[in-house]
Amino acid sequence: MFGNYLIGLREGLEASLVVCILVAYLVRTGNQRRLPPVWAGVAIAVALSLAFGALLQFGSSTLTFQAKEALGGSLSILSVALVTWMVFWMRRTARHLKSELQGKLDAALAVGTGALVVTSFLAVGREGLETSLFIWTAVQSTGDGVRPLVGALLGLVTSVVLGWLFYRGALKINLATFFRWTGAMLVVVAAGVLAYGVHDLQEADLLPGLHSLAFDISATVPPDSWYGTLLKGVFNFQPDPTLLQLIVWVLYIVPVMFLFLAPQRSAAAPRREQEEAGQPAAG
């Protein structure tokens, strides 16, 4: 549940911040009459995300066990790829998100109403589709359709409240730091989803090694215990992973976490180094 709360919070906060920036910029520049197209784009993005989630849920219910496992495993890996890209993208652009969006909005204002709808739709729709996909894979991995949805809903509600507080100026936090640490937690969650996706593909007979266990601590951490359920809900922890699951988990989390937490190289650093060396800076 916590992992899904984190997904809902982070993705929802990204979308909320985007909407707040767009609305605040239009109000500040005297373009309040252009707000309806922005809200229309947001509404279309939300509707598309809900429809995508429903399609995944009801479409997969008619599949055979093997086909459902193959679909679940493939979409789990896809969702991990999307979330990984998302946390690195936000890590890189968090400090410049406002100016980037305002530039796109200026261009959309020059084009017309349709461009405003498209701009807000694209800005919010990506987060919505990623959220739907990741939550669906979480529901499949836990076998519990209630708690993952409740966690994601609570995260989304929290993000809307935070977005409103940001807009009203009642809350100020370092967004770069916030996205850095929530991103690190998401990398851990994604590693568990990836391992579960591999297990699905093994059950679908698309990957070998289904019965080659790396270890089995089910007696120590029973899956139906409160702490086993907690570990499963937060990290997709499995007390009896296959050897391939463990290998994939390690190969993902070690390099991804290292790269994500590594200090970012300032864009001005190469210029300063050239100037210190007595060379003309490029550009």
Segment 31-40 shows an average pLDDT of 84
pLDDT at residue 192 is higher than 70: yes
* pLDDT computed for residue 281 by the predictor: 46
CB-based burial label for 1 (10 Å; 0-12, 13-18, 19+): buried
**0.85 exceeded by the pTM?**
no
* pLDDT computed for residue 228 by the predictor: 78
4 vs 142: CA distance, rounded Å: 11
How far, in whole angstroms, is CA 220 from its chain's centroid?
32
Segment 37-62 shows an average pLDDT of 84
Q: Which position has the higher pLDDT, 168 or 195? A: 195
Q: How far is CA 256 from CA 80, 92, 194, in A?
A: 12, 15, 13
35 vs 23: CA distance, rounded Å: 7
Q: How confident is the model at residue 241 (pLDDT cuts 50, 70, 90)?
A: very high
Q: Mean pLDDT score of the chain, rounded to an integer?
A: 78
Share of the chain above pLDDT 70, in %: 80
pLDDT at residue 18 is higher than 90: no
pLDDT tens digits, one per residue of 57-83:
777 777 788 888 898 889 889 888 888
